[in-house]
Structure 1
């Protein structure tokens, strides 16, 4: 099981990956949206603000998210680390129920380029 610091590091790497993206991926990552990532096995929620192709202002709180973010992810700590490292594909993890993604329909359409 990954720890909280490894999860934060993975989210910071995700932010760097989004910032380095181009084309449709860059366009989707540039959307100004709130994002939360609930880590079930650590009972933690990381939250931040996605804008200009980065994930900024990442905070960590115990338990479930206090507010409903525009884009909500739920997964285990190991799955977060594996997704960002490229060892786990998002589509297969989502299909297997290892990752849950909740967002409005328009956001889901835009986010498909990131997946």
Structure 2
């Protein structure tokens, strides 16, 4: 099981990858939306803002998210680390229930290029 610090580092690396991307991925990540990532095995939630292709203002809170973010992710700590490292493919993890993604239909359609 990864630690909460390793999860925070993974989210930082994900933000850097989004910033460095180009083309359709960069356009998809250019949303301005609230974002939560619930780490189920650690019982923590990272909340922040996806803005201009970056994940900003990330804060960690214990337990489930207090507010309902526009884009909501849930997974284990190891799955987050593996996803960001490229060792786990998002679409496969999502199809097998290892990762949950909830968002409005319009956001899901836009985010599909990230998957």
Q: TM-score, normalised by structure 2?
A: 0.99
Number of residue pairs the alignment of both structures matches: 115
In the other structure, the counterpart of 1:73 is: 73
In the other structure, the counterpart of 2:9 is: 9
User: Residues of 2 paired with 1:99 and 1:52: CA distance?
Assistant: 24
In the other structure, the counterpart of 2:21 is: 21
In the other structure, the counterpart of 2:62 is: 62
* Aligned-pair CA distance for 1:35: 0.5
User: Residues of 1 paired with 2:45 and 2:64: CA distance?
Assistant: 6
What is the aligned-residue RMSD (CA, Å)? 0.4
* Aligned-pair CA distance for 1:9: 0.1
Map Cα deviations across residues 36-63 of structure 1 (whole Å, 9 max, x no partner). Answer: 0000000000011011110000000000
In the other structure, the counterpart of 2:83 is: 83
User: Residues of 1 paired with 2:33 and 2:44: CA distance?
Assistant: 20
User: Residues of 2 paired with 1:46 and 1:109: CA distance?
Assistant: 23
Q: Runs of 5+ in structure 1 lacking a partner?
A: none
User: Residues of 1 paired with 2:114 and 2:98: CA distance?
Assistant: 18
